[in-house]
Amino acid sequence: MSDDNPQRRAPRRYTGTTTDFVLDGTTGRLTTATSSGQLTHVDLRVGKHGSTLAGLTEALSTAITTALQAGAPPSEFVAPLRHTHYTPSGATTDPGVPHATSLSDYLAHRLHQQHTSTAPPHPDAAELPGAARTSTQPPLPTASWVPHLRR
């Protein structure tokens, strides 16, 4: 392995969280892993093994994990994935993200809440019973990371 490779070596042990959810009748599981306080792995599993939906979510997870291991911060994925629209969409069983416009939107909200330093509540969270209501929310982070391209 050469020293000019910007990709970080994957640790042998992770600390992770798993969130089971249902989005508009579609069951899913999001597992995130951290090492030394940094997000290092994202695994989104949805649908039956071999289905188009399962394949696309696995590809998205692999792309995000690869970028994280190359040094991209989690905030790089939040803004582009938020408010994407495709099915399944609608109500979720996750109280932290009561509504999502797609699986990507759900993933973005979860990553933002769990792994960025300024995690505003989901816009629909104020509609939950007992939820705190706020009139202002901080803006989402903008893209600032530039990948190292190999020549």
Q: Do you know the residue count of the chain?
A: 151
Q: Which pLDDT belongs to residue 15?
A: 84
The proportion of the chain whose per-residue pLDDT surpasses 90, expressed as a percent, equals 52
| Averaged pLDDT score across all residues of the chain | 79
**pTM (two decimals):** 0.70
Give the pLDDT mean for 22-29: 95
Closest CA to 33 of 44, 21, 47: 44
Spatial separation of the C-alpha atoms in residues 129 and 108, rounded to whole Å:
23
- CA dist 21 to 62, 82, 118, 135, Å? 20, 18, 23, 28
| 3 state SS for 87-149 | CCCEEECCCCCCEECCHHHHHHHHHHHHHCCCCCCCHHHHHCCCCCCCCCCCCCCCCCCCCCC
For residue 117, the cross-strand partners are: none
With 70 as the cut, is the pLDDT of residue 37 above it? yes
Structural tokens at position 99:
């509504």
What pLDDT digit, counting tens, does each position of 40-59 carry? 999 999 989 899 999 999 99
Per residue in 109-144, pLDDT (tens digit) is: 999 998 876 444 445 444 444 333 333 445 545 555
